[in-house]
Amino acid sequence: MQVSAPLETFVQPLTALSEEEKLFQSTVRRFARDEIGPHVREMDEAGVFRKDIIRQFFELGLMGIEIPEEFGGQAGTFFQCVMAVEELSAVDPSAGVIVDVQNTIVNNAILRWANAEQKKRYLPRLAADTVSSYALSEAGSGSDAFAMSTRAEDRGDHFLLNGRKLWITNAAEAGLFLLFANAHPAAGYRGVTAFLIERDFAGFQVGKKEDKLGIRASSTCELILDNCRVPKENVMGEVGKGYKIAIETLNEGRIAIGAQMIGLARGAFEHALGYAKQRKQFGKTIGEFQGIQFQLAKMTTELEAARLLVYNAARLRDAGLPFVTEAAMAKYYSSEMAENIASKAIEIFGGVGITKDYPVEKLYRDAKIGRIYEGTSNIQLLTIAKKLLER
- Average pLDDT over the chain reads 95
Residue 284 phi, psi dihedral angles, 5° rounding: -150, 165
Look at residue 14 in the predicted model and tell me its pLDDT. Answer: 65
The fraction of the chain above a pLDDT of 90, given in percent, is: 94
Write down the architecture of domain 244-390 according to CATH.
Up-down Bundle (1.20)
* Residue tagged active-site, from 87, 238, 374, 390: 374
pTM, full prediction: 0.95
- Residue 150 confidence (pLDDT) above 90: yes
The CA–CA distances, whole Å, from 150 to 165, 197, 219, 295 equal 8, 14, 22, 48
Look at residue 16 in the predicted model and tell me its pLDDT. Answer: 82
Q: State the CATH class of domain 15-130.
A: mainly alpha
Q: Write the Ramachandran bin of 350: left for phi over 0, alpha for psi from -120 to 50, otherwise beta.
A: left
Q: What are the start and end residues of each CATH 2.40.110.10 domain in the chain?
A: 133-243
Look at residue 142 in the predicted model and tell me its pLDDT. Answer: 87
Look at residue 11 in the predicted model and tell me its pLDDT. Answer: 42
Look at residue 155 in the predicted model and tell me its pLDDT. Answer: 97
Contacts of 38 (CB under 8 A, 6+ apart): none
**Per mean pLDDT, which range of 14-18, 119-123, 267-271 is the poorest?**
14-18
Q: What angle do CA 87, 313, 300 make, to 5 degrees?
A: 50
pLDDT in tens, 136-145: 999 999 899 8
374 is catalytic: yes
Q: What are the start and end residues of each CATH 1.10.540.10 domain in the chain?
A: 15-130
The CA–CA distances, whole Å, from 167 to 9, 102, 280 equal 47, 16, 44
pLDDT in tens, 230-276: 999 999 999 999 999 999 999 999 999 999 999 999 999 999 999 99
pLDDT in tens, 302-328: 999 999 999 999 999 999 999 999 999
Domain 133-243: homologous superfamily in CATH: Butyryl-CoA Dehydrogenase, subunit A, domain 2 (2.40.110.10)
